[in-house]
Amino acid sequence: MSRIVIIDYGMGNLRSVQKAFEQVGCMAVVTADPAAVAQADKLVLPGVGAFRDCMRNLTDGGFVAPLKAHVAAGKPFLGICLGLQLLFTESEEFGRHQGLGIIPGKVVRFPDGVQEGGESLKVPHMGWNRIGIRRAAPLYRGIPAGSFVYFVHSYFVVPDDPAVIATETGYGQTFCSSIWHDNVMATQFHPEKSQAVGLQMLRNFGEL
């Protein structure tokens, strides 16, 4: 059985992600040991909180080099929420901060006064919303277009290359809600909170 490793860098709902994998029959371990990250068959980077703090914790914890080596080796990688945003070149959250630079692009905030149908929308974008599947990433095998998933975020990613966008979602504007580039998959939404649809995504990742 392949070894799924969830990176514990002090910021993330790690246990809920681990339990969701277990629910679909996938063994996943949570670790704060960079050496264990280097031995992973599949790697998961969840995250909640501020981009700058998470990036600092990843760096201070010694995770950046093994994470990048994992991606460069072509092994499956899944980022969740802030774990998606950290893959990008930089974020504008509380200033300008450098990310991992694995996917060229930036992380931006929903604009103030964002509206839909003449009604003001709250930021953060929180709750259930649909995903429109642009590219049939392995993560979405068996997932119908227009499925509802669960979001909690104020910032979203803007890839330099639109070809990496796997799904889009509308919230006053159309934004990238997940990416797929070779072995790298990452979602702005939370599969572990997205009931049957999210569990199917995690099962798909576990079966890669």
Q: What is the CATH number of the domain that holds 166?
A: 3.40.50.880
Count how many domains the chain has. Answer: 1
d(CA 190, CA 75): 21
d(CA 105, CA 90): 7
- Check residue 1 and give its pLDDT: 58
d(CA 110, CA 32): 32
Contact between 75 and 183 under an 8 Å Cβ cutoff? The reply is: yes
> How would you classify the pairing of strands 119-120 and 148-153?
unpaired
d(CA 3, CA 27): 7
Of the residues 90, 125, 176, 192, only one is catalytic, namely 192
Single pTM value for the model: 0.96
- The full DSSP string for 66-110 is HHHHHHHTT--EEEETHHHHTTEEEE-TTS-EE---SEEEEEEEP
Q: Which of 181, 47, 46 is nearest to 105 (CA)?
A: 181
| Catalytic residue flag (residue 192) | yes
Residue 202 phi, psi (nearest 5):
-65, -35
Packed helices 14-23 and 195-206: angle between N→C axes, nearest 10 degrees:
80
- Domain containing 46: what range? 4-206
- pLDDT tens string 75-96: 999 999 999 999 999 999 989 9
| Catalytic residue flag (residue 119) | no
| Catalytic residue flag (residue 190) | yes
Cβ-proximal residues to 171 (8 Å cutoff; 6+ apart), any chain: 110, 114, 116, 121, 125, 129
Q: In the chain, which residues have pLDDT < 50?
A: none
Of the residues 54, 81, 90, 93, only one is catalytic, namely 81
d(CA 145, CA 26): 25
Q: Which of 30, 82, 80 is nearest to 53 (CA)?
A: 82
Whether the upstream peptide bond of residue 46 has omega within 30° of 0, thus cis, is no
- pLDDT tens string 167-185: 999 999 999 999 999 999 9
